[in-house]
Structure 1
Amino acid sequence: MRSTLRCLIAILFFGAAWHCPAEETRLGNRLTPAVLAVRKALPWVVNIGTEQVIRVDDGYDVFYNDFFKWYSPRSKEVIEYFPLGSGVIVDPRGLVVTNYHVIQRAQRIEIRLWDGTTHQAELVGFDASNDLCLLRLVGDFKDKPLATAAFALPDDVLLGETVLSVGNPFGLEHSVSQGVISAINRKLEDGETTYDDILQTDAAINPGNSGGPLINLNGELIGLNLAIRHDAQGIGFVIPMKRIEQFLSHWLLPERFSSACLGMVLDQPFVMGNKGIILPEVMSCSDTHRAGLQKGDEVVAVNDQPIRRLADFGRAVWALRTGDNVRMTLAAGREVTTTVGTMRAPKLIQTRLGLQVQKLTRTLNEAMGFKPDLAGLTISEIYPEGAFARQQPTWRQVLKRGDVIIQVEDRLTPDENALAEVLSKTRSGQNLRLIVLSLQGRHYVTLAVDITLN
């Protein structure tokens, strides 16, 4: 009796992954490494869906509507949950990674957790060429942090090792399938993108498994399910951990979630050092220069959190806000304390929009054929897409140098500060509408351009 009570207490505090001696005795050989791995993984696997509006009736609608539909139609609209795919919780404060194609056309994203609770999610950022995206659950998880995926080391994959796929195939939540790693560094062409490091597995992958995890027998994430070969059985493709971690290191920075500025140059990749991560170029938008941080410094801890891999740094800093103090321990043993700053207007505009703008003046208006008193911001530079984001926004095929931004949402933009004030309340992945004067041939026309922010 006491043994059973102790087991119940252990399960209550440590979750389903915990197993007790009494359970081991009862289940014997059934408690395999695969079973234990699944128990570890299930709490951090999520189901992703959207809301779909459907019409329902009671079977008499055809007869009723023939006579009375103009007065009071019987059928009604009902909002129903529609499954799209799967995802993985990568931070206890509500961050989820999945395939971009899972949520690409969803107007509203719903995340269903292992315990059955549902949360709305917001898009933070995506990399269309790698079919990855980052979502953030709406809500405060400080008091009840979410279970988070354990990451396998990059490239720590064995040909032929047993692996497990967990996901939401055809809406069948948290389904598990087993297989092996069939190939490593498989070349895969998807449209204009060519992958040369894809994992191949024969674990069953079906519609709805996309974005869900492939795990090893330690219960560690080794990749995200990507696609299957439709003309074959048992050939599935998986995005490897190395590519996922590089994606996360690009997006897990304070600059993506607010106007806060840690000082990292966003388009320069982080790389691993001997003990921690190597800092890219450090900007002067925060106190980092005065504190002594510089390019090439190797960070081994942030606020006493060890940094052993790329994702560790991102998870330690992404939620920082302006005014927060950050203590970084360097490999040389030196400690640096810095304060998170605020992005200046030009940097904020470049970060969110990938643009450089210039205030219209009377001289510019005359040169461009506008009325002398026209107020707005002319686009003087559009940064190359790869230099500031990976989102491949289609609006970049519409705007060009010389176009004039006169309004963002319902706010006029007579100068940089007005535009920056609007952007300071935004985050990456958010949608905004710009009202733009665009040169079409010899004439300017007014365009409404919907933009996904970086």
Structure 2
Amino acid sequence: EVVKAFQKVGPAVVSIRAIRMVDSGIWFPSQEFFDDFWFGPRIPQKQESIGSGVIIDPRGYILTNQHVIENASQVWVGLKTGKELEAEVIGADVRRDLAILKITTAEPLSYILMGSSSDLMIGETVIAIGNPFGLGPTLTTGVVSALGRRVHINNQVYGEFIQTDASINPGNSGGALLNIEGELIGITTAIYANAQGIGFAIPIDRAKRVVDDLIAYREVKLGWLGIEVEEPSGELTKALGVPSGIGVMISKIWKNSPAEKAGLKPGLLIIALDSKVIASKWEFNEQMRDIIVNDEVVIKYLEQRIEKQIKLIAKAFPEELAPELCWFLLGLELEGGARGVMITKVDMNSMAGRIGLGRGDLILRLNQAEVRNLADFYQALIRNRNQNSVIIVIKRRNIYYYVSLPLRS
């Protein structure tokens, strides 16, 4: 059965070669930044890394890990026939460590239909196919060791992994995890480089939810319910008869949001999202980062000590609320500048106010997004609104600063 599965889908697993231009010096958003400094730009160096991918569509769409192609200037895909083709990066999702590439060729392509990971059982036989250490197509077998694993790496939480004892080494990232029938049930990821007998894969059901968005929009459309929360006091949880450390209190309901239309109000205690118990504000925000547009979300909450349940459909964050979001999260009011956006007002109780940002400062970058105008800034803030913090590049009197700002939500 393993041999049949490999023969059936092996040609659809490809090798990936990502080329990056790296620099050991400080990087600035554009070349003209260097005009204000006495030193010139460092000489860029070429760096290559390897990985794997899975062709999921006969049109040439390939599913892989985001970290395989991160910051790549060129991506090459190697087919089983030996041919190597340059690939276009269609979209990537850092949160789920997934990316979509596309290759174009006149030759018919083998591809794997996505199966289901919802019915996996611990002990079930699985097959991993990838390109470990750049050696070429390699098959290993094992069993499902655990489900729903959450892993903390470099201050990032990766959740809901399939854990397996099938060997998943560097170069396997982005490869296929199959069941014994040869159905795609996960995307392998070598997140622990020195792990022995421990491999992880992103469940294919988790990947399915974002593939269409990545192909259609080149990004994942983060869902919005219109709920902001805070940690409840011990007195409140005691009064509601809730064990300490369970639930978060609604602190704000956004206008015209799914939550407002459903009748939710500040002061209610949310105890679960989609059957997952919420024990803290951090857990609530973690759950929200996994919700995409049009997801149905079940919220359990307490109202006057009575447990209730409601279903909401997540929608996209309305762009017209972006200025209010900026004030709520960062304590800043902005206007467009000749280049970048200019701070016009600062909430002195916010972190921005406490560290000394002020009127006239220019914002030129938010995380990975270059900010040329207000639309750029607001779109980047909307995309990053559920993060714990953002990094902005500030220009003040021809001096440039990198500033990390926590988000107040």
- If the length of structure 2 is used for normalisation, what is the TM-score? 0.51
Shift of 1:95: 1.6
Cα distance in 2 for residues equivalent to 1:210 and 1:241: 14
1:147 corresponds, among 110, 115, 126, to 110
Structure-1 separation of matches of 2:210 and 2:385: 10
Q: Choose the corresponding residue for 2:73, options 82, 97, 107.
A: 107
Q: Distance in 2 between matches of 1:377 and 1:179?
A: 50
Q: How much has 1:145 moved relative to structure 2?
A: 3.9
Distance 1:191 1:386, change over 3 A: farther
Tell me what 1:129 maps to.
95
Map Cα deviations across residues 91-139 of structure 1 (whole Å, 9 max, x no partner): 22222121122122433211001211111112222222322222222x3
2:239 corresponding residue in structure 1? none
- Equivalent residue number for residue 42 of structure 1: 10
Equivalent-residue separation in structure 1 for 2:48 and 2:375 (angstroms):
44
In structure 2, the partner of 1:379 is: 374
Alignment partners' CA distance in 2, 1:390 and 1:206: 34
Deviation at 1:175, TM superposition (A): 0.6
Q: Which residue of 2 aligns with 1:423?
A: none
Return the match for 1:89 from 25, 34, 55: 55
> CA offset at residue 230 of structure 1?
5.6
Could you list the runs of 5+ residues in structure 2 that have no partner in the other structure?
Answer: 22-45, 225-257, 259-318, 321-333, 343-358, 361-370, 402-409
| SS, match of residue 101 in structure 1 | helix
CA apart distance, 1:387: 3.5
Relative to structure 1, the CA distance from residue 446 to residue 227 in structure 2 (aligned partners, 3 Å threshold; closer, same or farther) is closer
Alignment-derived partner of residue 118 in structure 1: 84
Alignment partner of 1:129: what SS? coil
Aligned positions of 1:430-449 closer than 5 A: 439-440=395-396, 443=397
Distance 1:390 1:100, change over 3 A: farther
Which of the numbers 378, 387, 398 marks the counterpart of 2:392?
A: 398
Secondary structure of the residue aligned to 1:383 is helix
Asked whether the 8 Å contact 1:357–1:377 carries over to 2, the reply is no
Secondary structure of 1:397's counterpart equals strand
Question: Aligned runs of 1:198-347 on 2, under 5 Å?
Answer: 198-227=161-190, 229=192, 232-253=195-216, 255-256=217-218, 266-268=221-223
What SS does the corresponding residue of 1:234 show, helix, strand or coil?
A: coil
Structure 2 residue identity aligned to 1:241 = I
Contact 2:99 2:214 in 1 (8 A): no
Q: Distance in 2 between matches of 1:386 and 1:155?
A: 33
Q: In the aligned structure 1, how far is the partner of 2:372 from the partner of 2:71?
A: 31
Q: Deviations over 1:283-308 (max 9, x none)?
A: xxxxxxxxxxxxxxxxxxxxxxxxxx
1:195 shift after superposition: 3.4
* Pair 1:377–1:85, CA change in 2 (3 A): closer
C-alpha deviations, 1:40-85, integer Å up to 9, x for none? 12121010114699xxxxxxxxxxxxxxxxxxxxxxxxxx995511
Residue identity in the other structure for 1:49: R
CA 107–391 in structure 1, closer or farther in 2 if over 3 Å, else same = farther
Instruction: Note if contact 1:86-1:168 (Cα within 8 Å) is conserved in structure 2.
Output: yes
Aligned identity (percent) is: 36
What is the deviation of 1:386? Answer: 7.0
Secondary structure at the counterpart of residue 130 of structure 1: coil
What's the CA shift for 1:377?
A: 7.2
Give the distance between the partners of 1:380 and 1:94, measured in 2 at CA: 33
From 118, 139, 142, the equivalent of 1:176 is: 139
For residue 39 of structure 1, report the CA deviation from its aligned partner: 1.0
After superposition, residues 22-33 of structure 1 pair within 5 angstroms as 33=1
Gaps of 5+ in 1: 1-32, 54-79, 258-264, 270-280, 282-345, 348-355, 370-375, 400-437, 448-454
Q: Alignment partner of 2:133: what SS? A: helix
Maintained 8 Å contact 2:18/2:68: no
Deviation of residue 208 (structure 1)? Answer: 0.8
Distance 1:99 1:50 in 2: 12
Shift of 1:194: 2.3
Alpha carbons of structure 1 residues 359 and 385: separation in structure 2 relative to 1, 3 Å? closer
Tell me the CA shift for residue 35 of structure 1. 0.7
* Partner-residue secondary structure (3-state), 1:233: coil
Change (3 A) 1:390 1:88: farther
Q: Secondary structure at the match of 2:3?
A: helix
- Structure 1 distance, partners of 2:108, 2:384, is 30
Q: 1:377 to 1:118 in 2, by over 3 A?
A: closer
Distance 1:52 1:99, change over 3 A: closer
Q: What displacement does 1:178 show?
A: 0.8
Aligned in 2, Cα 1:117/1:357: closer, same or farther, shift over 3 Å? Answer: farther
Report the alpha carbon displacement of residue 209 of structure 1 after superposing the two structures with TM.
0.7
Inter-partner Cα distance in structure 2 for 1:112 and 1:147: 13
- The verdict on how the C-alpha distance between 1:158 and 1:386 changes in structure 2, with shifts beyond 3 A counting, is farther
1:181 Cα deviation (Å)?
Answer: 0.7
Aligned to 1:14: none
2: CA distance between counterparts of 1:39 and 1:242? 24
- Flag the structure with larger Rg: 1
TM-score w.r.t. length of structure 1: 0.46
- CA shift in 2, pair 1:35/1:357, >3 Å: farther
SS of equivalent to 1:252: helix
* Alignment-mate amino acid for residue 247 of structure 1: V
Distance across 1 between alignment mates of 2:195 and 2:101: 32
Counterpart position of 1:424: none
Q: Distance in 1 between matches of 2:20 and 2:398?
A: 40
Q: 1: CA distance between counterparts of 2:202 and 2:375?
A: 38
RMSD: 4.6
Instruction: Supply the distance in 2 between the matched residues of 1:187 and 1:243 (Cα, whole angstroms).
Output: 14
Counterpart CA distance in 1 for 2:191 and 2:337 is 51
Contact 2:61 2:101 in 1 (8 A): yes
